[in-house]
Amino acid sequence: METVKVDKKGRILIPKNIRERTGVKEGSYVKITAEERGILIEPLEAIADKYFGVFEITKWPEDLDEFVVEVVREWGIRKAT
């Protein structure tokens, strides 16, 4: 547990040891929830990290636009089944 001061703009500084333990880095997003007697701050996973590895690329495409269309089409088929 740490004690921090709220500045006049309502900001707080998350101590380094807590940021390191929770993986919160500069530019990270967090979810803030108001609870009955407190505030819960939870780190959010980056979208890129969440979907990393969903599609395996065996060869870099010559036409990137065509590749993106095919990936979206394949994703839609997988999601529908």
Beta carbons of 26 and 13 less than 8 angstroms apart: no
Q: What is the pTM of this model?
A: 0.54
Interatomic CA distance for residues 41 and 11, integer angstroms:
13
Interatomic CA distance for residues 34 and 38, integer angstroms:
6
User: What single letter denotes the amino acid at residue 13?
Assistant: L
Highest mean pLDDT among 1-10, 48-57, 71-80: 1-10
Tell me whether residue 45 is exposed, middle or buried, using C-beta atoms within 10 angstroms of its C-beta: 0 to 12, 13 to 18, 19 or more.
Answer: exposed
Residue 16 has pLDDT above 80, yes or no: yes
Each residue of 25-63: pLDDT tens digit? Answer: 998 899 999 999 999 999 988 777 777 777 777 777 788
Architecture in CATH of 1-44? Ribbon (2.10)
Percent of the chain with pLDDT over 70: 96
Position with higher pLDDT, 18 vs 73: 18
